[in-house]
C-alpha cells in the first residue's frame, strides 16, 4: 500500500534516555571576535541554537483526539535516545484523523541544543504511515485508554517508599517524617526539556529559595526519585546531582526498584510502566507534611517554585515548634 504522508507540527513531546550529546565545536577566530567585542564594552552576540535532525521509526500505541496526543513506541534513535514510548502533542488536530493504533510510522525529529549541549527543543516535524494497522474484527469495541486509578487526597497518609540514595545508602520516605518533603520522579536519561530536566530546574530554584534560611532548610527535604534502576545507579545519580547543583541533605537524588515504585505510583498519580527497553511516565510532584500526610499533589509541569515554596512555608508555620 502506498505510504500516506502526514506533516506533523508538534509541540514538545510529553514523555520521554541517555543522550550522547555532540561535542561543541570551537573556533579561534570566533573566540577572538568575542574577546574583542567584550573588550570594547559591547555585549557578546547571542549563540544561535544548534539544530540536529533525527529519524524516528515506531508503532502508534495510543491516540487521544481530545488532547491532541499520539503515543509512539519508537526504535533506538542513535545519539539521542534508546527505544521508548513517547507522547507527542500535535498542534493540528486534523492530523490525528489519519493515525490509528498499531500504525507503523516513521518521522523526523528536530532537536535544538544550547551552548551547553542541553536540549532546548524536541519537535516532531514530519510523520509518515509506512504500514497501516491491520483491520480490526467487525464489531470490535473501540480502543480506549483506561482511566487512571484515584490519587490520594490531601490529609491522607503517603505510602512508604524504600530507595537507595545517591550515596548508596538505603533511605525510607518514612525516615523523613518531621520534615516537609517535596517529592518528584525523574530519570537522568530523559531527553525532554519540558519533563525531567524541567523538574530538575524547578527543584534547583526551590532549593535556592529554601536555602536562604538555614533554619528552614533544616526542616525541608527535596527528593528526586528515579524510576530507571537499570541505569540510574547511585554513582550516576551522584554525578547528575552535582551537574544540576543538588546538595544533600536539602536536595537528594535516589532510585527505587520497580516493585517499590508500584506501591506509590498510583496513589501519587504517577503513570509508570516498567519496560525492558522503554520508559513511559507522567509527571508527579508531591508536598508531604511533617506527619507523613499529603499536603499537595501536582500532576504535570505547570507548577512553579514560588507556589511550592509558599506551600512549604505554610506547612512550617503551622507545624513548627
Report the share of the chain in percent with pLDDT over 90.
41
DSSP structure class, residue 101: T
Taking residues 65-89, report their average pLDDT: 79
| Residue 34, H or E segment | helix 28-39
Rounded distance between C-alpha atoms, residue 153 and residue 118, angstroms? 36
Write out pLDDT tens, residues 296-312: 999 888 999 999 999 99
Taking alpha carbons only, the member of 122, 119, 70, 114 closest to residue 95 is 70
**pLDDT given for residue 39 in this prediction:** 36
Q: Which residue ranges form the domains of the chain, and what is each CATH number?
A: 4-131 (2.40.50.320), 162-319 (3.40.30.10)
User: Which of 28-42, 127-141, 257-271 has the weakest average pLDDT?
Assistant: 28-42
How sure is the predictor about 128, in pLDDT bands with cuts at 50, 70 and 90? confident
For residue 64, pLDDT beyond 60: yes
Cell 522503554 found at: 278
Region 134-156 average pLDDT: 72
Give the per-residue pLDDT at 298.
95
* Residues whose CB falls within 8 Å of the CB of residue 50, separated by 6 or more in sequence, listed in order: 22, 112, 113
This prediction's pTM: 0.63
Query: In this model, does residue 52 exceed pLDDT 80?
Result: yes
Amino acid at each position: 500500500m502506498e505510504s500516506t504522508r502526514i506533516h506533523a507540527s508538534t509541540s514538545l513531546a510529553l514523555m520521554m534516555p541517555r543522550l550522547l550529546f555532540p561535542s561543541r565545536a570551537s573556533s579561534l577566530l570566533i573566540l577572538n571576535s568575542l574577546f574583542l567585542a567584550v573588550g570594547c564594552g559591547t555585549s557578546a552576540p547571542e549563540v544561535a541554537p544548534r539544530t540536529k535532525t533525527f529519524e524516528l521509526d515506531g508503532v502508534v500505541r495510543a491516540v487521544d483526539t481530545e488532547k491532541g496526543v499520539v503515543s509512539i513506541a519508537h526504535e533506538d534513535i542513535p545519539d539521542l535516545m534508546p527505544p521508548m514510548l513517547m507522547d507527542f502533542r500535535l498542534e493540528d488536530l486534523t492530523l490525528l484523523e489519519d493515525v490509528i493504533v498499531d500504525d507503523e510510522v516513521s518521522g523526523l525529529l528536530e532537536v535544538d541544543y544550547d551552548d551547553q549541549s542541553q536540549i532546548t527543543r524536541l519537535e516532531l516535524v514530519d510523520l509518515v504511515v509506512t504500514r497501516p494497522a491491520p483491520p480490526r474484527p467487525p464489531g470490535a469495541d473501540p480502543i480506549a485508554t483506561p482511566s487512571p486509578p484515584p490519587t490520594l487526597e490531601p490529609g491522607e497518609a503517603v505510602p512508604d517508599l524504600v530507595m537507595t540514595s545517591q550515596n548508596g545508602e538505603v533511605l525510607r520516605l518514612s525516615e523523613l517524617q518531621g520534615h516537609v518533603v517535596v517529592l518528584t520522579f525523574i530519570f537522568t536519561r530523559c531527553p525532554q526539556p519540558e519533563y525531567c530536566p524541567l523538574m530538575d530546574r524547578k527543584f534547583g530554584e526551590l532549593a535556592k529559595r529554601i536555602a536562604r534560611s538555614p533554619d528552614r532548610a533544616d526542616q525541608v527535604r527535596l527528593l528526586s526519585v528515579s524510576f530507571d534502576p537499570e541505569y540510574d545507579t547511585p554513582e550516576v545519580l551522584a554525578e547528575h546531582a552535582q551537574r544540576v547543583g543538588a546538595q544533600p541533605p536539602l536536595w537528594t537524588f535516589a532510585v527505587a526498584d520497580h516493585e517499590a515504585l508500584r506501591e506509590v505510583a498510583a496513589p501519587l498519580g504517577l503513570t509508570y510502566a516498567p519496560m525492558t527497553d522503554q520508559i513511559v511516565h507522567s509527571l508527579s510532584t508531591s508536598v508531604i507534611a511533617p506527619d507523613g500526610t499529603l499536603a499537595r499533589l501536582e500532576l504535570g509541569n505547570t507548577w512553579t517554585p514560588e507556589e511550592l515554596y509558599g506551600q512549604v512555608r505554610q506547612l512550617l508555620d503551622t507545624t513548627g515548634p
